[in-house]
Amino acid sequence: MQTYIALLRGINISGKNKISMSLLKAAFEEIGFLNVSTYINSGNVIFSSNMLNKNKLIKKCESVISDKFKLNIPLTIISPQDLSDALDNAPEWWDKDKQAVNYAIFLISPVTVKEIFEAVGEAKPEYEKVGYYKDVIFWTAQRKTISKTRWYKIPSSSVNNNVTIRNANTANKLLSLSNR
């Protein structure tokens, strides 16, 4: 039995794509996943499954969301080990300044890090720092100048539907919760 974390993209934001976490938990249980729990309202589901193929798991999760909630929600799945590995290999500067915003940007297959960087562009070093490890991009910016950054505009970029973003606190909490 393997533990996984499903990271849904774009739910419960500004009243759009509303999904109750208790109903989402129940839907994951109905399709046979075990030890299901959710964390906050942004679509984080921790669960266990005997399935080892992440692409099949993603399709199964997307299908249940489509069937139960009539929404086409892209998502990615990461194992606690892969999340731990990414966080352990985050750039040295990431999540050090608690006054800054620190985000982990998770790629939704089949997009690549290279495609994300090409679409969003190079970071503006006077306002932000961007680095990556495997399929997780790490971004830090000061709150007072965030609107001047290039990566703040990722929601209006052509790759917006190919990523799901979590702040550092959420990423760390998901790791903690998934290792119980």
pTM exceeds cut of 0.85: yes
β-strands 100-107, 136-142 pairing: antiparallel
CB 126 within 8 A of CB 112: no
d(CA 178, CA 116) in angstroms, rounded, equals: 27
Tens of pLDDT, residue by residue over 4-62, are 999 999 898 877 889 999 999 999 999 999 999 999 998 999 999 999 999 999 999 99
Q: Is residue 71 part of a domain?
A: yes
Q: Is residue 177 part of a domain?
A: no
Same domain as 111, residue 66: no
User: What pLDDT, on a 0 to 100 scale, did the predictor assign at position 180?
Assistant: 67
Q: How many CB atoms lie within 10 A of CB 113?
A: 15
Average pLDDT value for the chain: 95
Residue 166 — left, alpha, or beta (φ > 0 → left; ψ -120 to 50 → alpha)?
beta
135 is in which domain, residue-wise? 82-167
d(CA 170, CA 139) in angstroms, rounded, equals: 14
